[in-house]
């Protein structure tokens, strides 16, 4: 044998061992399906490989079974190399192809021998977490030669087994073959038969895995996890271990849930308070065959809580919280809705009055008694939930004022100024003659008023007269408004003519807005001290006419005392018929009334 050839073989084997390292690193990606992930060997140490590549050193001890190979040295060949490739049908069984080379490295010695060959057959194994025992049976060809005989091929049969240690190196893709022991029978025709014992050890590169694929995984998350009715909720499904080559379908279920992808929304407007669950499912597959294989379906649950609406809260304060009679205070309310609902405010005062419907209101102590007054502040949201708070305002007692005693003259004049209203005939005064309309009896009433009022001004220089004009119900609002303005102007002008300063007289015209009712007129007639019972009855018989006449007047108010003129009708006046007539002066027909008999008797 050629020693240089043997050295070349050794170099090739060494380089092959070094060169297998990157193959091991790439093996996982190279042999696994491109997308579907498989259980890692780190997670499943006994996962069986699909392909094993073994490279090692070998010792061969041949024995001549029959004569013919003269001067054969059976001490064994210590220098050998072996390699094999095993492909497995499943976790336990497969086929194996093996080759070996043995040379005693002494080709110049007369007893030098060498063997080399290749075989193929079946291999059985039992993988576990750390060790994998195996047996195999192979048949092939073997070349044998010696110093005296040139190499020739013959049949070889191999049977044996071994034990591999599964290391964690390279993600469990590198194993060490602790030993491999084989018996070989080699028949060399016309030379000899050999019984051989072969012992080997080396490294095994494990490629691929029979571990089941990692099933599809699905995780659900909900945002937010706690809401109030009508708040939006989004649920997200996150799938893992999906194969992008397969069709993926998401489905959702739950109260108010809508969605057909990885995201769903929940309509919460009609959901009752409490915990609600959303269910999600993801399936993958080819075409219409979705979720038919194990590991192609996953589901998850996500829960969220619907909280009941919380009622609003309110605080209430008053500034200032201590006031004098007839003064005001500002009340401030501060309402808070936990859900930021729109709020409406209202207020109530124990006494006095309060106005406002926003966050502030004004309390008026006019008419309130002295002492503490409770102000109730109310707030309500658009869901009907309410809250109240109370603020107290203290009203100081009114100062004691010693009233000034009126003089005897003031008392006399105020008694004489028991004013009477002034009445006008129908439609008087006219626009064309604003200076008319005052009959003699009513002029006399105004003259008496003027004389008494001028004397009263000497005592009460701040006194004023207020003239308020009225009209009966007939006619339009515009007509009656203008008519009452002429009446108060006529009465004012007459008083000025009697010596009353114009700035002492105030006027206002109300048209027919403040008309005396029929019952009010009837009460005035019944309380008139100047009428007998029979006269009252005759007048009441013409009550509709009297109601009209009673409303054609000017009322007079004294500002210092606040007393208003008495609305007693002048039935006993000489010109009462003129005042009572329903028709305007100058018309062809006048209304006849029984009231004329009142004056006739007088």
Question: Residue 297 belongs to a domain with what CATH number?
Answer: 2.60.40.10
Domain annotation covers residue 383: yes
Same domain, 330 and 249: no
Same domain, 237 and 351: no
Domain total in the chain: 4
Domain annotation covers residue 341: yes
Which residues of the chain are under the pLDDT cut of 50? 1-45, 588-594, 596-597, 599-602
Same domain, 488 and 519: yes
What pLDDT score was predicted for residue 38? 41
Domain-ending residue, one of 346, 370, 395: 395
What pLDDT score was predicted for residue 28? 39
Same domain, 48 and 177: yes
Same domain, 63 and 171: yes
Same domain, 446 and 593: yes
Contact 595, 571 (CB under 8 A): yes
What pLDDT score was predicted for residue 565? 83
For residue 14, give every residue at least 6 positions away whose Cβ sits within 8 Å of its Cβ, in sequence order, or none.
none
Same domain, 193 and 229: no
Same domain, 299 and 341: no
User: Beta strands of 68-216 (E only): which ranges?
Assistant: 80-88, 93-103, 113-125, 131-146, 152-166, 174-188, 192-207
Contact 208, 51 (CB under 8 A): yes
Same domain, 580 and 454: yes
Cα distance between residue 476 and residue 109, in whole Å = 154
What pLDDT score was predicted for residue 147? 66
What pLDDT score was predicted for residue 104? 73
Cα distance between residue 211 and residue 215, in whole Å = 12
Cα distance between residue 300 and residue 280, in whole Å = 5
- Bridge pairing between strands 174-188 and 192-207: antiparallel
Domain-ending residue, one of 247, 281, 306: 306
What pLDDT score was predicted for residue 54? 97
Same domain, 377 and 457: no
Domain-ending residue, one of 207, 241, 259: 207
Same domain, 565 and 431: yes
Please give the residue range of the domain that contains residue 357: 313-395
For position 194, which CATH number holds?
2.40.160.20
3-state secondary structure of 251: strand
Contact 96, 123 (CB under 8 A): yes
What pLDDT score was predicted for residue 243? 87
CA angle 369, 372, 375 (to 5 degrees): 100
Same domain, 328 and 442: no
Domain annotation covers residue 596: yes
């Amino acid at each position: 044998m050629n020693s240089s050839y043997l050295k070349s073989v050794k170099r090739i084997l060494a380089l092959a061992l070094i060169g297998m390292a990157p193959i091991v690193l790439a093996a996982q990606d190279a042999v696994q399906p491109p997308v579907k992930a498989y259980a890692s060997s780190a997670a499943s140490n006994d996962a069986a490989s699909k392909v094993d590549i073994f490279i090692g050193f070998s010792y061969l001890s041949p024995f001549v079974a029959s004569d013919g190979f003269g001067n054969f040295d059976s001490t064994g060949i210590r220098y050998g190399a072996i390699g094999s490739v095993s492909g497995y049908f499943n976790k336990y069984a497969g086929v194996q192809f093996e080759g070996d080379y043995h040379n005693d490295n002494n080709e110049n010695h007369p007893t030098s021998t060498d063997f080399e060959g290749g075989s193929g057959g079946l291999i059985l194994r039992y993988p576990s977490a750390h060790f994998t025992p195996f047996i195999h049976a192979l048949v092939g060809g073997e070349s044998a030669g010696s110093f005296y005989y040139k190499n020739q091929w013959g049949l070889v049969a191999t049977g044996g087994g071994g034990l591999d240690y599964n290391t964690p190196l390279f993600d469990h893709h590198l194993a060490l073959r602790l030993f491999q022991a084989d018996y070989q029978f080699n028949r060399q025709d016309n030379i000899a038969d050999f019984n051989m014992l072969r012992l080997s050890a080396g490294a095994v590169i494990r490629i691929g895995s029979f571990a089941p694929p990692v099933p599809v995984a699905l995780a659900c998350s909900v945002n937010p996890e706690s809401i109030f009715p009508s708040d939006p909720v989004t649920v997200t499904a996150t799938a893992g271990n999906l194969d992008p080559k397969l069709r993926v379908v998401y489905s959702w279920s739950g109260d108010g849930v809508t969605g057909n992808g990885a995201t769903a929304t929940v309509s919460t407007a009609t959901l009752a308070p409490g915990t609600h669950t959303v269910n999600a499912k993801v399936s993958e597959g080819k075409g219409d065959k979705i979720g038919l294989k194990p590991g192609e379906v996953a589901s998850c649950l996500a829960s969220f809580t619907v909280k009941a609406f919380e009622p609003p809260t309110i605080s209430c304060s008053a500034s200032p919280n201590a006031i004098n009679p007839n003064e005001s205070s500002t009340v401030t309310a501060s309402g808070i809705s936990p859900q930021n609902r729109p709020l409406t405010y209202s207020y109530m005062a124990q006494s006095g009055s309060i106005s406002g419907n926003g966050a502030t209101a004004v309390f008026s102590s006019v008419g309130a008694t002295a002492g503490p007054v409770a102000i109730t502040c109310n707030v309500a949201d658009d869901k009907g939930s309410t809250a109240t708070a109370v603020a107290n305002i203290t009203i100081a007692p009114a100062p004691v004022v010693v009233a000034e005693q009126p003089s005897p003259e003031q008392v006399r004049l105020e008694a004489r100024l028991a004013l009477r209203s002034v009445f006008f005939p129908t439609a008087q005064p006219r626009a064309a003659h604003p200076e008319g309309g005052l009959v003699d009896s009513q002029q006399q009433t105004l003259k008496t008023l003027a004389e008494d009022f001028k004397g009263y001004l000497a005592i009460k220089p701040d006194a004023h007269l207020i003239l308020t004009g009225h009209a009966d119900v007939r006619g339009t609002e515009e007509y009656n408004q203008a008519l009452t303005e002429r009446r108060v102007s006529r009465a004012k002008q007459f008083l000025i003519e009697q010596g009353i300063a114009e700035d002492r007289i105030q006027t206002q015209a109300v048209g027919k807005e403040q008309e005396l009712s029929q019952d009010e007129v009837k009460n005035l007639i019944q309380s008139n001290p100047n009428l007998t019972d029979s006269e009252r009855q005759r007048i009441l018989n013409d009550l509709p006419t009297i109601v009209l006449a009673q409303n054609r007047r000017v009322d007079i108010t004294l500002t210092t005392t606040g007393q208003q003129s008495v609305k007693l009708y002048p039935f006993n006046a000489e010109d009462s018929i003129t005042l009572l007539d329903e028709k305007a002066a100058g018309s062809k027909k006048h209304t006849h009334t029984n009231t004329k008999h009142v004056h006739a008797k007088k």
